[in-house]
A = this chain, B = another copy of it.
Amino acid sequence: ILSTDKMTTAHCDAVNDDKQRKSQGPITDSDPMRLRMEAFIKDLQNRIVNEIQQLDGRGEFTRTTWERKEGGEGITCVLSEGKVFEKAGVGISIVYGQLPKAAVEQMRHDRGKDIEAEGSVPFFAAGISLVMHPHNPNAPTVHMNYRYFEIENPDGTPKLSWFGGGADLTPSYLYEEDAVHFHQTLKDGCDKFNPNYYKDFKQWCDKYFFIKHRGEARGIGGIFFDDLDDKNKENVFSFIKEMGNRFLPSYVPIIEKRKNMRYTDEMKEWQQIRRGRYVEFNLVQDRGTKFGLNTPGARIEAILMTMPLTARWEYMHEPALKSREADLIEVLKVPRDWIPLV
């Protein structure tokens, strides 16, 4: 559908400049942010896929690459039914496009209106997105996403640009030490850049991943931020790289600890019910998913790679009083500060 859109000069300039530059050799720090972000997420994707495949020990990631006629490409890596992971997807996408109005509105939670779109606007987006669902109910699901957006000027240079992203953990059974480890790893990264980042982004995460119709959070949180467009763009990009690089140390040690723990059929069933809530959040609330579903010509399999392999909806399921399942719900109803917020 996008191919029938009228391509603007801005759009074509951006695509052609970037193509030409990439053909000339490796990207350096003096290149435009579009290309630097693309290089970073491609490298990060490879590092994550390699380490997670090693951790799984049996499953292999399938790698699908796709190109968009209008400019841009994607690489979707999915591991299904491995030894440790039921399903793990790591995708990157680089998109040069004309953004329809519906998608623009999903784009910025606060400043979508500033864009003064009439019909559609030329934009660029590059992001890495991952979700990993382990088999073992003691091992948590994880999600991470870092992204960069640009709205173009008539000459193809960025008119408006910003970063967004975050990472959050969704256990079926609560291990406080895991929650603390995950949050501490993220906090240490945040603290290098701004003393308020962790506190602000932790609270933003609790708010963003709250499933309104259930009155509970999706998981035990992490960080989330959007529209980060500090005047010092270099600094923000360094922050993004720092946080992206922290994904593996934030998650892998938890999985190492949990992947071989024993579990019962009842625990597996509870995990499946929690997966149902994951699906509800993603399809009903998640802005990223809505953005994808509203983007004409989007690759639906890449957008929905975040879905669990299986999920379950039991009517009126209530955890037993004082059970481990009830402990989790308690923490989801009132998000906890795993590390004291100053």
B301 A309 Cβ-Cβ under 8 A: no
A126 close to B (CB within 8 Å) = no
Q: Which residue of B lies closest to A76 (CB)?
A: B315
Partner of A315, one of B284, B301, B316: B301
Which residues from B are CB-within-8-Å of A272? 310
- CB interface residues, A 226-275, toward B, < 8 Å: 272
Q: Which residue of B lies closest to A306 (CB)?
A: B313
Residues of A within 8 A of B (CB): 62, 64, 78, 80, 87, 89, 212-214, 272, 276, 279-280, 283-284, 293, 298, 300-301, 303-305, 307-316
Which residues from B are CB-within-8-Å of A80? 314-315
Which residues from B are CB-within-8-Å of A89? 315
- Provide a sorted-by-A list of 24 A–B residue pairs whose CB atoms are within 8 angstroms: A62-B315, A64-B316, A80-B315, A87-B313, A87-B315, A213-B298, A213-B300, A213-B303, A214-B300, A272-B310, A279-B279, A279-B283, A279-B311, A280-B283, A280-B304, A301-B315, A305-B315, A307-B313, A308-B313, A309-B312, A309-B313, A309-B314, A310-B311, A310-B313
Given contacts A214-B300, A283-B280, A300-B213, contact A311 B314 (CB under 8 A): no
Which residues from B are CB-within-8-Å of A308? 313
Q: Which residue of B lies closest to A312 (CB)?
A: B310
Query: With A301-B315, A307-B313, A310-B313 given, can you name 20 additional A-B contacts, CB distance below 8 Å?
Result: A62-B316, A64-B316, A78-B316, A80-B314, A87-B315, A213-B293, A213-B298, A213-B303, A214-B300, A272-B310, A279-B279, A279-B311, A280-B304, A283-B284, A284-B293, A305-B315, A309-B312, A309-B313, A310-B311, A311-B312
Oligomer: number of copies: 2
Q: Which residue of B lies closest to A316 (CB)?
A: B301
Which residues from B are CB-within-8-Å of A62? 315-316
Which residues from B are CB-within-8-Å of A64? 316
CA distance A214 to B304 in the complex (A): 11
Shortest C-beta distance, A80 to chain B (Å), equals 6
Which residues from B are CB-within-8-Å of A309? 312-314
Which residues from B are CB-within-8-Å of A279? 279, 283, 311
Q: Which residue of B lies closest to A282 (CB)?
A: B283
